[in-house]
Chains A and B, each alone.
Chain A
Amino acid sequence: MQESQAEMMDAAEARPDLGPEGKNATNAAKPRKRRRLKVAHPERCIGCLGCMFACSRTRTGTVSLQNSAIKIQTQGGIEGDFRVVVCRGCQDPPCARACPTGAMEKRPDGGVVFHKDRCIGCGSCEKACLVGAITLGKEKKPIKCIHCGACVEFCPHGVLKLEEVPASGG
């Protein structure tokens, strides 16, 4: 549980500009909303990989492509189109269903919370995600997007967007 709380705090810290609304997303007086990363304009990607570096820098403090939860893939080299792969924060997440230990836990609001302490590194979540948004890191633990939006600020072409969706929305 500690692990997952740490992750959620990361998300808030990474977006200091979210403001009070963003940090109090569970405020009962308003309709419940959550923030979700969206690939708004994949065709505008220039392949700079700035988002991947932003992700690993912000979340792990490393310079790395492997530690990034967002992935820019090439299809037929850079002559082809780029594919931008991010976690969709599914309403009924297959990764959570596939996880044998409850390490990937479905959040009531949608999306999943990852409990690293429960993870046995079996890779079932990676296989279950059709989008390909989960990869296993060096410790065989999944690298998963927390929808913090750090990547959004380092995309020079507005490919990525942090959107607000109804808390239960898929």
Chain B
Amino acid sequence: MLRKVLYIDLSKEESWVEERQELFDKWMGGTGVGIRLLQEECPAGTDPLSPATPIIFSIGPLNGIFPVATKTVATFKSPLTGELGESYAGGRLSLALRFAGHEAIVIRGQAQQPSYISINDSEVKIKDATSIWGIDALTTGVILRDREPGVGRRSIIRIGPAGEAAVRYAGVVVDTYRHFGRLGLGAVFGSKNLKALVVSGTEHVDVPDVKRYKEVYNRLYKTAVQTDVMEKYHDIGTSVNINVLNWLKGLPTKNFLLTSFPEGEKISGEMFAEKHLLRRLSCAGCPIGCVHIAALKTAFSTHHEFEVRKVSYDYEPIYSLGSNLGVVSAEGILQLIDVCERLGLDVMSAGVVLSWATEALENGLITSKETLDVPLQWNHVEGYSRALENIVKALNEFYAALGRGVDYAAKKYGGMEYAMTLGGNEVSGYHTGPASIVGQLVGVRHSHLDNGGYAIDQKAIKKPMDMETMVDEIIKEDDSRGVFNCLVGCLFARGVYTEENIIDSLGTVGIVKTKEDLQDLGKRIFEEKYKFKVQEGFDLTSARIPKRFYETVSSAGLVAPETIEEMLRLYRKKRGWS
């Protein structure tokens, strides 16, 4: 397997390939290679939206070759938090990159005019996108589909108007239903005048030992489809957690004022599945099919005329745009998800921004003068839809502030105690206890998926766990997920990829690793990421924790500030930072 990096310089309008075998040998691929390339490419203190910052995409040695190794990682400097930007997307991108022969891509500079990049095997072209600038993310995909080669085996990733307008939590839509959602990659695209990237390839991969490859492939495939390790994702999908967390008092409701939603049943995964689920899809190379697509059918006249929109849903958007905004209907949530899809906004940050604004309006920190009479009220779907449009248009100072994230808006207008961010990133849909809070705060990208703190909390509810054990679990997950993210597998499949299975599957592509090698790799990657974070100003000792977390009951009861302080102290000590 030839390990190469494709460099594309938008300013100079040129591209070239460099062989970086050593980089891949030492850092495996995916997030390991991504963070190292970021360190190489991104000078300290650079404005995240300036031409000097890079966008890096990388896949790992198993992508396209083994089941459920379906993700691509984007590494960049986040315009939302000002530090490490890291986001993962599925769809067909990793497969397209594999067969185009590029395991990592670095995009530098800034195009002179709206442009898109077309990669077809080794051919790289920077093309004019002037005529599609301003067009929504869904339509952009439809247009490029007809212009570019590789039907059925390509990936089209693109931004909507939010990315063009540099909304700090604009995402990149991947093959329609998947996203580089978090931390503002869309804004970085926009700042580079980059509307889209289309990748397709016709290469194939030869494995050294076909017989062994088939053996290991079959084992992993069977584990994924025939055992219950991925059951949750087969059936209802991640949204099965709406009811579960609602019962556990862990479902953030109305900007975390509550953690159980009396109307939760109406927006449960079961309700979505029964009333709205149209079909399920999968990322290329995954037999599970966890992508749940709902049909949203709305009448636009009284003469039985309907518009039908196909909208993908999951637990997180149902939390952020649903319970978190007091929205009591699945239709309302689907409508808001659809607005975010078209504008190209991260659904999670968007929901938390709106929930903060709703509360700030209730509390009189802002008035209808700021909101331009848009009714920012719980469950007011039309009001929220209009607000999202206004944010992207930066219609006035208030909406422009909302476009910079909750932290920025709360600094300007107040309401910091219920500005629900950790590490500057709008929080995920869990108030399960201390591990979720600490996990998101210490996590490299301030995501619930960095270390799965919410799952540690849920374990602790069943069987009490002391603070030290919780911290140990967080550290273990931090590091092991770092390794898994080098392979850029889907985190839903982490049960399939046991350490043994990782070693065996790497072996079939000629990469020999021991358990110790992998553990060491996990630690090194974590350290490199923290080096970057600290360099860009992240300081765990002064990181803000919204008071609201201590005021609203969690699945583990009320969380005391002292618990969080102690866990953070333990965390720093165990990481050797104190």
Interface residues in chain A, defined as those with a beta carbon under 8 Å from any beta carbon in chain B: 46-50, 53, 56-58, 61-67, 71-74, 76-79, 154, 156-157
Specify the chain A residue showing the minimal Cβ separation from B210: A61
Known: A57-B210, A64-B99. 4 other contacts (CB 8 A): A57-B214, A67-B204, A77-B176, A78-B177
Residues on the B chain within 8 Å of A65, using CB: 95, 99, 153, 204
Q: Does B205 touch A at the CB level, under 8 Å? A: yes
| Proximity string of chain B (525-549) to chain A, C-beta cutoff 8 Å, 1 when within and 0 when not | 0000000000000000000000000
With most chain B CB atoms within 10 A of its CB, the pick from A62, A65, A73 is A65
User: Which one, B152, B279, B289, contacts A73 given CB within 8 A?
Assistant: B152
Residues on the B chain within 8 Å of A63, using CB: 64-65, 204-207
> Contacts A56-B204, A74-B151: A49 and B225 contacting too (C-beta < 8 A)?
no
Residues on the A chain within 8 Å of B214, using CB: 57-58
Q: Does B124 touch A at the CB level, under 8 Å? A: no
Residues on the A chain within 8 Å of B91, using CB: 78
Residues on the B chain within 8 Å of A62, using CB: 204-207
Q: Does B247 touch A at the CB level, under 8 Å? A: no
Residues on the A chain within 8 Å of B65, using CB: 63
Bound-state Cα–Cα, A33 to B19, Å: 54
Contact, CB under 8 Å: A74 / B289: no
Contact, CB under 8 Å: B207 / A77: no
Q: Does B34 touch A at the CB level, under 8 Å? A: no
Bound-state Cα–Cα, A78 to B96, Å: 15
Q: Does B160 touch A at the CB level, under 8 Å? A: no
Bound-state Cα–Cα, A48 to B141, Å: 20
Residues on the B chain within 8 Å of A56, using CB: 204
Nearest 5 Cβ contacts at the A-B interface: A64-B204, A46-B289, A61-B210, A63-B205, A156-B287
Q: Does B50 touch A at the CB level, under 8 Å? A: no
| Proximity string of chain B (197-239) to chain A, C-beta cutoff 8 Å, 1 when within and 0 when not | 0000011111100100110010001000100000000000000
Q: Does B281 touch A at the CB level, under 8 Å? A: yes
Contact, CB under 8 Å: B289 / A77: no
Residues on the A chain within 8 Å of B213, using CB: 57, 61
Bound-state Cα–Cα, A53 to B213, Å: 12
Q: Does B280 touch A at the CB level, under 8 Å? A: yes
- Kindly state the interface size class of chain B when it binds its partner: 35 or more
Q: Does B125 touch A at the CB level, under 8 Å? A: no
Residues on the B chain within 8 Å of A58, using CB: 214
Bound-state Cα–Cα, A56 to B281, Å: 22
Chain B residues 105 to 164 lying within 8 A of chain A, measured CB to CB, are: 141-142, 145, 151-153, 156
Q: Does B310 touch A at the CB level, under 8 Å? A: yes
Contact, CB under 8 Å: A78 / B175: yes
Residues on the A chain within 8 Å of B279, using CB: 46
Chain B residues 274 to 290 lying within 8 A of chain A, measured CB to CB, are: 279-289
| Proximity string of chain B (247-291) to chain A, C-beta cutoff 8 Å, 1 when within and 0 when not | 000000000000000000000000000000001111111111100
Bound-state Cα–Cα, A56 to B289, Å: 21
- A135: shortest Cβ distance to chain B, in Å? 11
Residues on the B chain within 8 Å of A47, using CB: 281-282, 284
Bound-state Cα–Cα, A46 to B64, Å: 17
Bound-state Cα–Cα, A132 to B204, Å: 21
Specify the chain B residue showing the minimal Cβ separation from A81: B279
Specify the chain A residue showing the minimal Cβ separation from B64: A63
User: Which one, B152, B221, B285, B289, contacts A71 given CB within 8 A?
Assistant: B152
Contact, CB under 8 Å: B289 / A156: yes
Listed A/B pairs (23) with beta-carbon separation below 8 Å: A46-B279, A46-B280, A46-B289, A47-B281, A48-B282, A49-B95, A49-B285, A50-B221, A50-B287, A57-B214, A62-B206, A63-B64, A64-B205, A65-B153, A66-B202, A67-B204, A73-B152, A76-B145, A77-B141, A78-B92, A79-B177, A79-B310, A156-B289
